[in-house]
Amino acid sequence: MTMNYFKTLETILLTKSPLEKIELFNNFYQMYKNNELVFEECSPAIELKEPSYFPFCTSVPPQDVPKRKNLTAVDGQINLIHAVAHIEYSAIDLALDSAYRFSGLPRAYYDDWLSVASDEIRHFMMLEKLLQDLGSTYGTVIVHDALFEAGQKTINLVERMAVVPRYLEANGLDATPMILKKLKKLPSSKGVDKIIDVLSTILEEEVDHVKKGDVWFSFVCEKEGLSTDIFFDIISKYYPRSFLRPNDLNIEARKKAGFSCKELNFMSKKEVC
């Protein structure tokens, strides 16, 4: 039976079980790469009412999520790993949604966001293994819905590319090195070394994800006759308190990910390149 790209992706997006979602995606992605899917638009795209993790995660406001303190203790390590796992799991759905919600784009667009979804799945599974090694699993620590809400707000392509890869994911390029710095100061142990290895892999690969967002942000700006300077207007619209810690910016990683010197100088509030 012929499978429809958009309808099948919609089913995967709505799937609640992580294991089932991953299995469905892997089968779908193989068919996609084999050109075995039909691109018939499902219009309009569905409105997502709740996160797919809703059945097994307890959501609270961001300020109520456990702080990642005392990384020498098992509980502290679980809180850290779970927080990153939640980001990666949310990022799976955001990548799937970006590949589903926006139709009529070049094939390379769908190649990129399905590739990102595949990476996010692999990242999530590495983190889930770390949790299991510590006697935990995804869903045991309370979480927040900030990434799901970002997807809800950004239902046109220019805003989605600005907010998700170029702002939220790019913020991870700044935050992860600081976490790694703290971990590397701890006494070396098998558990800590594993966390460092996984976070280092994620950091390296997330640069490419942000770069993909940069490419498609520029693409849609050119297509719609917009200046790429609209990036800061969009971010200010949704995150008015953005870029308040200019000294924490990972300048080199952001340059690799496509940020211009003009943008980096503006975010840094000084000339950095």
First-residue to last-residue Cα distance in the chain: 54
What region does 135 belong to: left with phi over 0, alpha with psi -120 to 50, or beta? Answer: left
Q: Is the pLDDT of residue 1 over 70?
A: no
Residue ranges covered by each domain of the chain: 3-46+54-268
Q: How confident is the model at residue 42 (pLDDT cuts 50, 70, 90)?
A: low
How many Cα atoms sit within 13 Å of 115 on the Cβ side? Answer: 15
Mean pLDDT to the nearest integer, 3-18: 95
Rg of the chain taking only CA atoms, in angstroms: 19
Give dist(CA 265, CA 85) in Å, integer.
32
Q: Is the pLDDT of residue 13 over 70?
A: yes
Mean pLDDT to the nearest integer, 156-169: 98
Q: Which of 34-38, 44-48, 90-94, 117-121 has the lowest mean pLDDT?
A: 44-48
Mean pLDDT to the nearest integer, 63-86: 90
CATH architecture of 3-46+54-268: Up-down Bundle (1.20)
Q: Tokens 């890869």, residue? A: 165
Mean pLDDT to the nearest integer, 238-257: 92
SS3 for the chain is CCEEHHHHHHHHHHCCCHHHHHHHHHHHHHHHHCCCEECCCCCCCCCCCCCCCCCCCCECCHHHCCCCCCCCCHHHHHHHHHHHHHHHHHHHHHHHHHHHHCCCCCHHHHHHHHHHHHHHHHHHHHHHHHHHHCCCCCCCCCECCHHHHHHHHCCCHHHHHHHHHHHHHHHHHHHHHHHHHHHHCCCCCHHHHHHHHHHHHHHHHHHHHHHHHHHHHHHHHHHCCCCCCHHHHHHHHHCCCCCCCHHHCCHHHHHHCCCCHHHHHHHHCCCCC
Q: Is the pLDDT of residue 240 over 80?
A: yes
The whole-number pLDDT of residue 39 equals 87
- Residue 96 carries which side chain, given as an amino acid letter? L
Give dist(CA 211, CA 20) in Å, integer.
29
Q: How confident is the model at residue 67 (pLDDT cuts 50, 70, 90)?
A: confident
pTM of the model: 0.95
